[in-house]
Amino acid sequence: MTGFMDRGLTLFKICAAITLVAACLSVRYRISVESRNQATALAVEASIIDDAARRAHIPLEKAMGMAKGVGLVTVVLQETLVTESISKGHLQVRAYGEEPEYLGVSGIDQRRFQDALDQNELEYSLVPDGPVLVKELPRDLSLGLEPGEVAAAKKAGLQIICRHINTPGETLTSIDYTLANSKSAGADGYLPLGEQVLGQRELVPSTARVMERIKMAYIQPEFAKIAGDARMAEAMKTDLIRLHAIQSAEVDKLTPAEYVERFVKAARERNIRILLLRPLTNAAENQLDAFLGSIARVKLGLEKEGVPLGRAKPFEDSGVPQWLLIVLAAGIAGSALGVAQELFKQNRAMYLLSIIAVAACLAGAAVQSLRPITALVGAMTFPVGAYLLWMDRDKMHPLVSYFVMTFVSLIGGLSVAGMLNGLDYFVKIRQFEAVKVAHFLPIVVISLLLLSRERPLKDIFKTPITWAGMLGGFLLLAVLGFMLMRTGNDNPAGVSDFELRMRALLDWLLFTRPRTKEFLMGHPALIFGLWAYGASVAHPNRKLRYVALGLICLGAIGQTSVVNTLCHLHMPVLLSLARISIGWIIGGVLGTLAWFALKPLLTRTAEEQPA
């Protein structure tokens, strides 16, 4: 078999080495960017602190100072609408004159009110030493940020983020005034309020240009469904900061430990840089102390995981040189060509298709929109190449084979991380959309490859189907279908309470939790199968050999999952590598222990049965 595979595998080995070096150099740029931006800000809405301060009968600025003392970094200030100002008694509105459409307005917000009317080009007149007369009074008219809240936040030394709603009738002039006014008040970022971003639809690009001009960041809430958010994020990607919040309805269902864990994971595992906290409880003897305790809990959780607190700032682009991407694409293309030689040397049509795919790989280095294709080829090539290498050297020690195969698959993950290395992927504006294909197609190819090793595929397909085979096939499809739902950047399958508890335990015990399908399924099956295959050679037995090959095939789940872990491009790459390493070690230990526990039974059975 060595002679049969020599040519293609030689090309694969050379190009895999090139890919490894180029991918590591590319990923190094990404690690540098991530290491320069680790500070995470704890944020709170000013209205929550204000409400707690009133109940505690202390000034707002003192309450904000106390919050900063326990870890608060940022305060979120929401604009005040006319309706809110009226309800608070800051504006008094009454019918004026005989015509009911005329209103008289007076109060402490009169100057702000006049400015808002001017910017929105609304008609009004002034009565000497009296109220402002308004012909039309829009109830959603914005008066900007509350001066008292701004002053309290500044005195406490907190970073300010503003929230504004996209009201009907917004113009570029009114948007420019609103944001510039908030910037002059000290706001560093804008967080959408309501179901639309400012300027939705036609004025989103113009709004982004206003924010760039006044140097205001766009704060993008994670998982939120906000109209115009994707367009705004695309336009503001160089000044974008991602935020994670838990809705009040969700907070009620969480224990204090789960509450802290949600925020810590968002910062540590998904590069979220602002955590918007809400009260753990609305019923307490001292609401302010209870909320300050919630902030302190999250701060302690972040500190335990090594996440530093500080003012959040946007991510920078990695700046990977073009020549490095060309070398990486060439390495992926050469590796794919080597694998194709081994898979399709008897099929000219498939080999020509492989050459086309290789050409697309190389094009991906020059055309950014084609880079996901290059990444996909790399993600699928290396797990298959790992199995081809094992088939060529199947007499290697099982532990050596286990290491080599996983290392080669790891190159596939690094090729994706290296090829899709840019700001768009760091802040999740773009994702690697072919995650599921890259995860499952290699498993199919590997399964066919191992089947063809024992018998020609055309003979296998002619074999009558048995009940056992049919049931086994349905079971396999069910397992793969469940895994398909559970795979991806966002998957629809729910997680059971038992699995959640197990995950929490692993997070507590280990530096980072390994993926379940790696350390409990793929890796143990692979190493057990490799040990069993070696035993089937030492004690020739066809049934043991088939069992071994079946387990080795099942081990492909772990190999493609190694690649898949590095396809989650918004996660810190060093954390992904740590997760892979821990899963590989635990899975290898579990599989090896299982083998030595069952080895006497399996080898004795093998000796009793004819070869």
446 with 543, same domain: the answer is yes
Q: How far is 239 from 427, CA to CA, in rounded Å? A: 10
Does residue 310 lie within any of the structural domains?
no
Over residues 355-367, the pLDDT tens digits come to 776 776 777 666 7
Residue 312 lies in a domain: no
Q: Are residues 526 and 569 in the same domain?
A: yes
- Asked whether residue 136 is domain-assigned, the answer is yes
DSSP per residue over 57-119, as a string? Answer: T--HHHHHHHHHHTT--EEEEEPPBHHHHHHTTSSEEEE-SSSTT-EEEESTTHHHHHHHHHH
In Å, how far from its chain's centre is CA 521? Answer: 24
Distance of CA 166 to the CA centre of its chain: 28
Are 268 and 343 within one domain?
Answer: no
Domain span at residue 201 reads: 41-79+144-304
For the cut 90, the answer to whether the pLDDT of residue 414 exceeds it is yes
Where on the phi/psi map is residue 485: left (φ > 0), alpha (ψ -120 to 50), or beta? alpha
207/289 same-domain check: yes
Q: List, in order, residues 6 or more apart from 191 with CB less than 8 Å away.
A: 76, 161, 162, 163, 219, 221, 243
Question: What confidence category does residue 468 fall into, taking pLDDT thresholds of 50, 70 and 90?
Answer: low
Specify if 496 maps to a domain. Answer: yes
105 domain residue, yes or no: yes
Same domain, 415 and 458: yes
Where are the strands (E) in 226-299, listed by range? Answer: 240-245, 274-277
The answer to whether the Cα torsion of 595, 406, 451, 536 is positive or negative is: negative
311 within domain boundaries: no
The per-residue b/e assignment along 96-118, b for 16 or more CB within 10 angstroms, e otherwise, is: beeeeebbbbebebeebbeebbe
Confidence of residue 611 (pLDDT cuts 50, 70, 90): very low
Among 276, 304, 332, give the residue marking a domain's end.
Answer: 304
pLDDT of residue 491: 46
CA–CA dist 558, 522 (Å, integer): 4
Does some domain include residue 441?
Answer: yes
Token output for 541: 């037995």
C-beta of residue 153 within 8 angstroms of C-beta of residue 145: no
Identify whether the C-beta of residue 560 lies closer than 8 Å to the C-beta of residue 535.
Answer: no
Strand pairing partners for 437? none
User: What DSSP letter does each residue of 114-146 carry, written as one string?
Assistant: HHHHHHTT--EEE-TTS-EEES---TT-B--S-
> Side chain identity at 107, as an amino acid letter?
G
Q: Which tokens is 393 given?
A: 């050297």
Give Cβ neighbours of residue 107 (< 8 Å, ≥ 6 apart). 85, 89, 90, 91, 92, 113
Pick the closest to residue 286 from 76, 529, 57 (CA basis): 57
Joined together, the tokens standing for residue 23 give 């991918």
**Cα–Cα distance for residue pair 310/41, rounded to 1 Å:** 5
In tens, the pLDDT along 225-270 reads: 899 999 999 999 999 999 999 988 888 888 898 899 999 999 999 9
Whether 347 and 279 map to the same domain: the answer is no
- CA pair distance 350, 40, nearest whole angstrom: 50
179 and 66 both lie in a single domain: yes
Q: What pTM did the predictor assign?
A: 0.86
Stretch 166-191: mean pLDDT = 92
* Pairing of the two strands 187-193 and 159-165: parallel
Strands in 124-126's sheet, in edge-to-edge order, are: 92-95, 103-106, 132-134, 124-126
For 366-374, the CB contacts below 8 A with 24+ separation are 366/322, 366/326, 368/422, 371/325, 371/419, 371/420, 372/420, 372/432, 372/433, 372/434, 374/329, 374/332, 374/333, 374/419
Q: State mean pLDDT over 328-356.
A: 79
Helix 322-344 to helix 398-419 angle (10° resolution) is 130
What is the tens place of the pLDDT at every residue in 30-86? 999 999 999 999 999 999 999 999 999 999 999 999 999 999 999 999 998 888 887
Q: How confident is the model at residue 492, as a pLDDT? A: 39
Residue 511 lies in a domain: yes
| Pair 156, 238 in one domain | yes
Looking at the structure, do residues 541 and 577 belong to the same domain, yes or no? yes
Distance CA 156, CA 139 (A): 32
pLDDT digits (tens, 9 = 90+) for 275-320: 999 998 887 888 899 999 999 999 999 999 999 999 999 999 999 9
Domain boundary among 282, 304, 326: 304
User: Which of the two residues, 332 and 492, has the higher pLDDT score?
Assistant: 332
Q: At residue 545, what is the residue type? A: R
Residues 123 and 158 reside in one and the same domain: no
Q: Which residues contact 122 (CB under 8 A, 6 or more apart)?
A: 134, 135, 136, 138, 141
Give the pLDDT score at 439.
Answer: 87
Residue 542 tokens, joined: 């066809």
Instruction: Report the number of distinct structural domains present in the chain.
Output: 3
Last residue of a domain, one of 252, 271, 304: 304
Give the tokens for residue 583: 């899963």
Does residue 218 register a pLDDT over 60?
A: yes
| Same structural domain, 481 and 564 | yes
Let me know whether 220 and 130 are in one domain: no
